[in-house]
Amino acid sequence: MVTQVLVDADDPAFAMPVKPIGPFLPRTIAEQRMRDRGETWTEIDTRGWRKLVPSPQPLGIVELDVLHALLDAGAVVIACGGGGVPVLRRPDGRLEGVEAVVDKDTAAGRLAIEMRASALLILTDVPGVAVDFGKPTQQFLGRIGLTDLERLLVREPFSAGSMGPKVRAAYRFVKDGGAQATICALEDALAGARGTAGTIVVPDGATQLSFQA
């Protein structure tokens, strides 16, 4: 289902475009578009420059009632692909698209919360969330409660472009009432859903902090 995701026009993210979109272009064209159109561009690597757009927080899922109806009818529903289509709700109730990208993990967390799911499963290409990533002291987290994860988020510089959104989505889901959020490798999906693989975020008191073997 093509899913519309509500965002706030006053979200601070609109003043700080961070998500690259579109093709790589030469510096001269990027600079011209910045001058002529007021766009934000950045040099990514040797391939060239890409346009940056805002990444606002998702406030709600427009098609929520339809999703519930489909699930009740026994359908397997794929929704919020790529983060969904960001829209603003104007005072007259009209929906209006906005140039932005909602982070896909953040959107998945919002969808799970609004669908009243008991668990959120985020699949990636590593076994779980690592602290001290890439260092000799690197460790992958196993089960972790909200308070321990909150302390970790303060000290650990999770990248905004990779693990950071996944960790924050898992944290928010459990904080808002979810029973379990798991971040694990794709091949561990079934074990992750059972809570026996990956990094498993649970409410405080449900577990002691552990590390993966």
Mean pLDDT, the chain, as a whole number? 91
CATH number, span 118-213: 3.40.1160.10
pLDDT in tens, 119-138: 999 999 999 998 887 788 88
From CA 175, how far away is CA 179, in angstroms rounded?
9
pTM of the model: 0.83
Lowest mean pLDDT among 85-94, 121-130, 204-213: 204-213
Helices within 160-213 (DSSP H only): 163-175, 189-194
Domain residue spans of the chain: 1-18+54-117, 19-53, 118-213
Please classify residue 139 by burial: count the beta carbons closer than 10 Å to its beta carbon, then call 0-12 exposed, 13-18 middle and 19+ buried.
middle
From CA 25, how far away is CA 15, in angstroms rounded?
23
For residues 140 and 201, the answer to whether their CB atoms sit within 8 Å is: no
